Amino acid sequence: MDIKEIHPKNFDYQLPKKSIAQAPLEVRSNSKLLHYRKGSLAHHQFSALPELIKTKSLIIFNDTKVIPARMIFHKASGARIEIFLLEPSAPTVIMEEIMSSKGSCTWICLIGNAKKWINDAVLSITVDQIQLTATRMSQDTVLFNWSPQKTWSELLLALGRVPLPPYISRAPVKRRSEPLSNRLFQA
């Protein structure tokens, strides 16, 4: 297919709700695996993957991680502001370093209900005696401040929510007792 022929409508299709897993299987190796080879499709379990890969194949691993990147704030007026973290911008852009930062950090974000939150306005949220303030610096940049005794990772564990796609109808599971590094979910 020529790149000029690729259009979003080519990827728009109906997927029956019964075909969408709402939660991962307890035994991950029992997950379904769709195998395509030379024009034919076959259904397998993920545990069959080693037998399906030819010797000297190039394997590319997706090590993308999902963090609890959704935070819900409320203005004094009651307006709900959702902040969805996209990428860190200060004091570093390196994920491992931003997670251990203390006191403040800045992120590029998507902001839900953005028209209700003007630049330089400060929002605040407190959970389990942890207070986090968010200052909107620009259309998509938010400065976060908190007590420096906690790392950004610890704050996300306490205040963040794992973003789930709209076709997943369950609430995300939250395990505060585990370190964030152990809770990162494969995308």
pTM exceeds 0.85 for this model: no
**Across residues 8-27, what is the average pLDDT?**
84
DSSP assignment letter at 115: G
Cα 30 from Cα 146, distance rounded (Å) = 42
pLDDT given at position 87 = 95
Domains in the chain: boundaries:
3-52, 65-181
pLDDT in tens, 51-104: 999 899 998 988 877 899 999 999 988 899 999 999 999 999 999 999 999 999
Two tokens, residue 128 = 């389990």
Residue 125 has pLDDT above 60, yes or no: yes
CA dihedral 144, 185, 180, 112 (to 10 degrees): 20
pLDDT given at position 175 = 53
CA Rg value for the chain: 21
**What is the distance, to the nearest Å, from the Cα of residue 185 to the centroid of all Cα atoms in its chain?**
8
Which architecture characterizes domain 65-181 according to CATH?
Beta Barrel (2.40)
Question: 1 falls in which pLDDT band (50, 70, 90)?
Answer: low
